[in-house]
Amino acid sequence: MLVYNSQSHRKQELEPIEPGKIRMYVCGPTVYDQIHIGNGRTFLSFDVIRRYLMFKGYEVTFAQNLTDVDDKIINRANEQGRTAAEVAEEFSDKFIEQMHRFGILDPDIRPRATREIEAMQEMISLLIEQGNAYAVPSGDVYFSVRSDHAYGVLSGRDLDQLRAGERVEVNDQKRDPFDFALWKAAKPGEPSWPSPWGDGRPGWHTECCAMIHRYLGTPIDIHGGGADLVFPHHENETAQAMCAWHEPLANVWMHTGMLQINEEKMSKSLGNFYTLKEVLDRYPANAVRILMLQTHYRAPLDFSFDRLDGAMSSLDRLQSCVKNLRWAAEAAPQDGCLTEADRALGMAIDSAEKEFESSMDDDFNTAGGLAAIFGLVTESNKYLSEAAGSIETAVTLRAADALVELCNVLGIDLAKDSAGEELPGELVTLAAERAGYAGSSPDEAAEALLAARQEARAAKDWGTADAIRDGIAALGLVVEDTAAGARLRRKKG
Ligand code: AMP
Ligand code: ZN
């Protein structure tokens, strides 16, 4: 399968370091607030990449850090009169909660910066010993970019051009304006740890590098993050690994495109800023996934609530199709000789599975994967209407299973939202009144009501038929006429 490597700027065959195994790392959030939907897009992209690698049979080990000490956390703590540790703990928990709601698989390893101080100090000492880093009188330790001949290779930047073109902070103690802090001397009131260079805390770039080395071993197969991390974060990460251990940090670097709102950058000041939580409070995770996966992970993603409503309808089409297939197979079981239509559906399943895999094999083309799924939805709906009366059980169930399984690879869990489709208990009372039903199951009550309505209509007893329909509508349900007969479902919207 082909994977785009942002370091080589081309797609290349995925060649695991250890056959059958993939070790991957994706930079985690700085935990000072709820994450926004842009962060959500990056984490979702790598969740799908990981799930697809697992689907292809790889044994994937996935690590993701929590940056739980940082200027932003300290500032937030000072604003709120709390400790940095309290702020970090609150937003680590909130981050994990939103990841679960979004259906993102837990990492196998989730290291936290504040618990990895020793590993980071070991790496910094090694860099100082080897002449790649230096401590200054204030107690900061800097990485010397000039000591690394390969500095700039990952992001394709040249240090001299950078120095001429970009504004960098003025700091007398640095030997080069692009030298970056590996260790920051403690200011009064800040969280700090003792070190050979004085009390302080680690720099952000140091964290990921030391954790990767400790938990996964370098080099790893895949290192990921948003495209905004290529420079300086990933450039600095790889420079440290190259200098400390004389080996690259990762074989393949993968970066996701930025999420934009109505083609504009999302920012708090523009008022078009949304947290993942507020979007998941309003829309099912499956719909947000469908929206995001319609765009290739490397392209910018245009987010809008109109598009999200469109994704809701797509999700509804998908769920209805699976339900109707299952329902038709149960309602009218028929096995035996295959008709033309049965064979055509069988072929549509095979080709959807092939198209899904060949799209995803091409650098995780989820838009192509979704197109294959929705192509099978169209073919299945066609089958249900054309083959009404002679539905073949096995092929019909196979179509439903294929849709569920392909969705699952993309983390779209069709079982999840259908839980909300359970019929209300009040149907039992209505069926007792109108259809003489004596049981307690809402599903059976629905069947009894539909049968009574059908009977009334056949007898041209419109009064009774309408009364049943109105009673059903009062419970927020509609009668849906499908090829395999009528059924009840919740009214949308
Ligand atoms: P941060 O907590 O800022 O380090 O961000 C966590 C992850 O979200 C990083 O991989 C970022 O690259 C990514 N990210 C930040 N903003 C966006 C955005 N607008 N669209 C997509 N990914 C983003
Ligand atoms: Zn990182």
Q: Do 344 and 202 lie in a common domain?
A: no
Residue 271 lies in a domain: yes
pLDDT in tens, 157-185: 888 887 776 666 667 789 998 999 999 99
65 lines ligand 1 (CB under 6 A): no
In a domain, 20, yes or no: yes
Domain that holds residue 452: 425-490
Distance (Å, whole) CA 396 – CA 375: 15
Residue 141 CA to residue 13 CA, distance in Å, equals 39
Structural domain includes residue 230: yes
Indicate whether residue 37 lines ligand 1 (CB < 6 A). Answer: no
Residues 256 and 132 in one domain: yes
Strand, helix or coil for residue 221: strand
98 within ligand 1 shell (Cβ under 6 A): no
The pLDDT of residue 421 is 61
Tell me, yes or no, whether 381 and 464 share the same domain.
Answer: no
Is residue 1 domain-resident?
no
Query: Which of the listed residues 418, 443, 466 is the one where a domain comes to its end?
Result: 418
* pTM of the predicted protein model: 0.87
Q: Which amino acid is it at 23?
A: R
Q: Which two tokens stand for residue 451?
A: 């049968």
Q: Which residue minimizes the CA distance to atom 4 of ligand 1?
A: 29
**Cα 58 to middle of ligand 2, angstroms:** 24
Q: Are residues 58 and 195 in the same domain?
A: yes
C-alpha 333 to ligand 2 mean position (Å): 55
Which residue among 418, 442, 472 closes a domain? 418
Helix (H/G/I), strand (E/B), else coil: 33: coil
pLDDT of 427-448, one tens digit each? 999 999 999 999 888 888 998 9
User: Are 119 and 148 members of one domain?
Assistant: yes
- Residue 306 falls within a domain, yes or no? no
- Do 446 and 410 sit in the same domain of this protein? no
Q: Is 266 in the pocket of ligand 1 (CB under 6 A)?
A: yes
Q: How far apart are CA 104 and CA 373, in angstroms?
A: 21
Provide the residue-wise pLDDT of the chain in tens; the chain has 493 residues.
999 999 999 999 999 999 999 999 999 999 999 999 999 999 999 999 999 999 999 999 999 999 999 999 999 999 999 999 999 999 999 999 999 999 999 999 999 999 999 999 999 999 999 999 999 999 999 999 999 999 999 999 888 887 776 666 667 789 998 999 999 999 998 999 999 999 999 999 999 999 999 999 999 999 999 999 999 999 999 999 999 999 999 999 999 999 999 888 887 778 788 999 999 999 999 999 999 999 999 999 999 999 999 999 999 999 999 999 999 998 876 777 889 999 999 999 999 999 999 999 999 999 999 999 999 999 999 999 998 888 899 999 999 999 999 999 999 999 876 544 678 889 999 999 999 999 888 888 998 999 999 899 999 999 999 999 999 999 988 887 766 677 788 776 5
DSSP-derived secondary structure letter, 275: B
Residue 429 and residue 399 share a domain: no
Q: Are 39 and 258 in contact (CB under 8 A)?
A: no
The residues, ordered by sequence, that sit 6+ positions from 37 with a Cβ below 8 Å of its Cβ are 259, 266, 274, 275, 276, 279, 288, 303
Say how many Å lie between the CA of residue 240 and the centre of ligand 2: 12
Number of CB atoms found within 10 A of residue 322's CB: 22
**475 within a domain of the structure (yes/no):** yes
Residue 101's CATH number: 3.40.50.620
Beta bridge partners of 490: 477
Report the CATH number that the domain containing residue 413 is assigned in CATH. 1.10.730.10
Q: By alpha-carbon position, which residue is closest to atom 18 of ligand 1?
A: 38
Looking at residue 131, its amino acid is G
From the CA of 224, give the closest atom in ligand 1. Answer: 10
Indicate whether residue 272 lines ligand 1 (CB < 6 A): no
288: in domain: no
Same domain, yes or no, for 37 and 105?
A: yes
Report the side by side order of strands in the sheet with 301-303.
264-265, 259-261, 301-303
Judgement on whether residues 277 and 345 belong to the same structural domain of the protein? no
Same domain membership, residue 240 and residue 378: no
Q: Is 40 in the pocket of ligand 1 (CB under 6 A)?
A: no
Task: Please work out whether the CB of residue 256 comes within 6 Å of at least one atom of ligand 1.
Answer: yes
Task: Answer yes or no: are the C-beta atoms of 4 and 254 closer than 8 Å.
Answer: yes
Q: Within this chain, do residues 265 and 241 fall inside the same structural domain, yes or no?
A: yes
Instruction: Please check whether residue 213 lies inside any domain of the structure.
Output: yes
Question: C-alpha angle 89/91/92, rounded to 5°?
Answer: 65
pLDDT value for 419: 43
- 431 with 465, same domain? yes
In 387-440, which ranges are continuous DSSP H helix?
393-409, 414-418, 426-435
Amino acid 159: pLDDT? 85
Structural domains in the chain (count): 3
- The pLDDT assigned to 398 comes to 97
Query: End of a domain among 386, 418, 450?
Result: 418
